[in-house]
Structure 1
Amino acid sequence: MLTIHTAPLVLPAGADPVPDGAVAVDGDRITAVGPYEDVADETPGARVRRWPGVLTPGLRQWHPLWLLRRCYHPDPREAGELGEEPLWGERLAALGELDETRWAGSVRRGVQRMLRCGTTAVASPGARFRDPLVAMAVARSGLSVVGTTDAPGTLLGERPVLDPFAEGHDLRGTVHGPLTIGGRADLAVFDVPDETALCERGAVTCVATVLAGRLVYRAR
């Protein structure tokens, strides 16, 4: 279905910001980027999704393997005992040996947490994951896999940080790629007024993630 995503500010990351901007999506591709009125004129009859804040390209996570296999993401049914945040280091070791079923659930929940942070691409040497649990979860989610031989930045003291902005990059250094006509429709929406506020407050402000044209996360 042809859909227009519109927000008070669109940040294409490869062009100037667009106040009262919009992105038109047909299937899994972007067909237009620009002021809402212009995009609406080009795509009559399209469904319109109106978002608060800023609309950007989807973000890129440089450390997915560490976050998914060296952290345990508790099941909501375990929240009373383990809390809701990822467990790592000594707290993870205290759980003892986890079987494959429990790890598979953790990996799936970790991927969902990445989507809630506006992530649409993850980095892996060779553009694939050798870990079968991670490879399956990422493939099923539809996340793009970006090949890399040397992910920049640090693991922030080897603690679980799902926010791609936490390493201090600006928007262009954090997104997977700019919004371009014909490009894959990977979008993120954040409830902030501008790019400065987004970089300062981070992906915790994410209210929606669109992955290959599909709305995969929407804040309640």
Structure 2
Amino acid sequence: MRTVHAADLLRLTLDDEPRAGLAVLVGGDRVEAVASLAELTAAYPGVRVRRWAGTLGPAPVHDGPLPPAPSPRERVHALFRRGAAAVLDAHLTDPALRAAAARNEVAVLGAARPAALVVGGRADLAVFDPDGSCRATVVAGRLVHRRS
């Protein structure tokens, strides 16, 4: 099922200036389009639309050990609460933590890379409030964290 994610502002990269009026069409685990909300809903009648307050953009790569928590699953979810959808391979030395990351489709990278929303790329998105706190995280097209 396709979903349009729309927010007050959108960034294509983490360093990009936020722009108003854009939304992201996600199909499966991929970004299918970036256009205005009106264009996307006209082109895809009946598409599910998720509207977010804040700034929507690519989910960042977490460059460090995963946050502490009682279990590997909770450590991965602590990562989602920070808006991250990828982690460096060097920080997944524990087999149970690596398995939890795989089950939750966290991207495991050999080296850090700039996060970007790219048509055809993996749909890893995050919505941040002005204070930098994460409102929502989408990993491979799946909503994995939402704060009300």
Pairwise same-fold verdict (TM > 0.5): yes
Asked if residue 178 in structure 1 is aligned to residue 116 in structure 2, the reply is yes
Aligned to 2:83: 118
RMSD between aligned residues: 2.1
User: Contact 1:24–1:43 (CA<8 Å) still a contact in 2?
Assistant: no
Aligned length: 147
Q: Output aligned runs, 1:143-162, within 5 Å.
A: 143-148=106-111
Asked if residue 211 in structure 1 is aligned to residue 139 in structure 2, the reply is yes
Q: Output aligned runs, 1:28-39, within 5 Å.
A: 28-39=29-40
What are the ranges of 5 or more consecutive residues in structure 1 without an aligned counterpart?
75-104, 152-174, 193-200
TM-score by length of 1: 0.61
- 2: CA distance, partners of 1:119 / 1:26: 20
Identity %, equivalent residues: 43
TM-score by length of 2: 0.88
Q: Name whichever structure is richer in strand by fraction.
A: 2
Q: Output aligned runs, 1:1-220, within 5 Å.
A: 1-13=1-13, 17-64=18-65, 67=66, 71=68, 73-74=69-70, 105=71, 107-125=72-90, 129-148=92-111, 176-192=114-130, 201-202=131-132, 205-220=133-148
What are the ranges of 5 or more consecutive residues in structure 2 without an aligned counterpart?
none
SS at match of 1:54: strand
- Structure with greater Cα Rg: 1
| Structure 1 residue 211, shift from structure 2 partner | 0.6
Task: Name the aligned partner's letter for residue 210 of structure 1.
Answer: V
Task: Name the aligned partner's letter for residue 189 of structure 1.
Answer: V
User: Contact 2:18–2:55 (CA<8 Å) still a contact in 1?
Assistant: no
- 2: CA distance, partners of 1:7 / 1:116: 18
User: Contact 1:59–1:120 (CA<8 Å) still a contact in 2?
Assistant: yes
User: Contact 1:58–1:176 (CA<8 Å) still a contact in 2?
Assistant: no
- 2: CA distance, partners of 1:111 / 1:118: 11
Task: Name the aligned partner's letter for residue 63 of structure 1.
Answer: G
